[in-house]
């Protein structure tokens, strides 16, 4: 079965997929200058990098913020900074995405709140060269980069649908193309296949795109949209927990060509606010340019299987 799935995807690849993987880099960047005064934006992983830049970008246009972070100390400092500089409301909730009990707790708190969410940005993520199994029994990158966002979306889906309007954005990656032969649901903890940093990252991001297929179906006709974005090659602290070799490689090779996270924030604001993409859903953008994801991320049969597997893995009913 595994070999058959490999052959199936290989037959579906086109040169455009290969070129997208090779190029990855700079794409067009559209901007939106509309204000967002008094609207509520929820962002995960907002204390640094892309999430931090996005929080400031939305606040600069008048949006109120609810930030979901791992560090309370950094969350307090960030909210103080945003309140003082932009005179908007800023609140936070604490959840370590490597512990699904914490994600479910925050999801429940938001679900039963009276908050109306205008934009939900799933930014929390990690890159790990080592295979680490969480206390929930899942591979670390798969849990943080995919399952965490799935839990929040799944728990909030009825609330968002009842609102009648919201935009959900996955901070995804061109790295989803590294899952060349699919996400390997037969072996999610890498017992029978080799684990690698690029491989596990690609699987998690591909899984996120597959979940988008099912969420698009659920939200159809409701006014709720869900899209994914490759945020560009920008400088972040992702992977800082890895070993010396990786940190040297990132510092001397990856970061040398990396750009300011503000370009990601500009694109995230465009996708969350611009009237040009009102009603657009289920799309993958490289910054603000729409692209076709790799074949394994478009497999509806696997998306269905993943949906049920994710509910089980995440401890959801």
Q: What is the pLDDT along the chain (317 residues), one digit of tens a residue?
A: 444 556 678 777 776 655 655 554 446 799 999 999 999 999 999 999 999 999 999 999 999 999 999 999 999 999 999 999 999 999 999 999 999 999 999 999 999 999 999 999 999 999 998 999 999 999 999 999 999 999 999 999 999 999 999 999 999 999 999 999 999 999 999 999 999 999 999 999 999 999 999 999 999 999 999 999 999 765 455 444 544 443 433 344 444 445 678 999 999 999 999 999 999 999 999 999 999 999 999 999 999 999 999 999 999 97
- pLDDT > 70 in the chain, percent: 85
* 157-182 exposure pattern, b = at least 16 Cβ within 10 A, e = fewer: bebbbebeebbbbbbbbbbbbbbbbb
What is the number of other CB atoms lying within 10 angstroms of the CB of residue 21? 16
| Residue given tokens 């960047």 in the structure block | 29
Domains of the chain: 36-313 (3.40.50.720)
- What confidence tens digit (pLDDT) does each residue in 180-191 have? 999 999 999 999
**Cα within 13 Å of Cα(147), Cβ side:** 29
**Beta bridge mates, 229:** 171, 285
DSSP designation for 234: B
Q: How far apart are the first and last CA of the chain?
A: 29
| Residue given tokens 């490597």 in the structure block | 98
Average pLDDT, the chain: 89
User: How far, in whole angstroms, is CA 192 from its chain's centroid?
Assistant: 27
Is-above-0.85 flag for pTM? yes
205 near 91, Cβ under 8 Å? Answer: no
- What confidence tens digit (pLDDT) does each residue in 132-172 have? 999 999 999 999 999 999 999 999 999 999 999 999 999 99
97 near 148, Cβ under 8 Å? Answer: yes
DSSP designation for 139: B
285 near 271, Cβ under 8 Å? Answer: yes
């Amino acid at each position: 079965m595994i070999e058959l799935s490999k052959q199936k995807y290989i037959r579906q690849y086109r040169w455009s997929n290969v070129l997208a993987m090779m190029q990855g880099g700079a794409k067009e960047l559209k901007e939106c200058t509309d204000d967002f005064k008094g609207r509520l934006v929820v962002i995960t992983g907002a204390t640094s990098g892309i999430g931090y830049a996005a929080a400031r970008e939305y606040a600069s246009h008048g949006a109120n913020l609810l930030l979901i972070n791992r560090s309370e100390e950094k969350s307090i400092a960030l909210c103080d900074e945003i309140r003082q500089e932009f005179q908007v409301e800023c609140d936070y909730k604490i959840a370590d995405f490597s512990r699904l009990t914490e994600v479910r707790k925050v999801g429940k708190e938001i679900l039963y709140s009276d908050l109306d969410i205008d934009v939900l940005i799933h930014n929390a993520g990690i890159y790990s060269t080592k295979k680490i199994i969480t206390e929930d029994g899942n591979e670390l990158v798969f849990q943080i980069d995919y399952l965490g966002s799935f839990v929040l979306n799944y728990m909030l889906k009825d609330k968002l649908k009842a609102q009648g309007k919201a935009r959900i954005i996955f901070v995804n990656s061109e790295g989803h193309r590294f899952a060349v032969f699919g996400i390997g649901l037969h072996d999610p903890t890498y017992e029978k296949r080799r684990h690698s940093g690029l491989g596990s990252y690609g699987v998690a991001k591909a899984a996120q795109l597959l979940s988008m297929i099912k969420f698009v179906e659920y939200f159809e006709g409701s006014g709720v949209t869900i899209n994914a974005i490759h945020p560009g090659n920008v400088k972040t602290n992702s992977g800082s927990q890895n070993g010396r070799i990786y940190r040297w490689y990132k510092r001397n090779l990856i970061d040398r060509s990396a750009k300011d996270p503000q370009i990601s924030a500009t694109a995230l604001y465009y996708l969350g606010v611009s009237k040009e993409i009102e009603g657009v859903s289920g799309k993958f953008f490289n910054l603000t340019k729409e692209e076709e994801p790799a074949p394994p991320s478009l497999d509806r049969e696997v998306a269905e299987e993943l949906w049920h597997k994710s509910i089980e893995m995440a401890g959801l009913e």
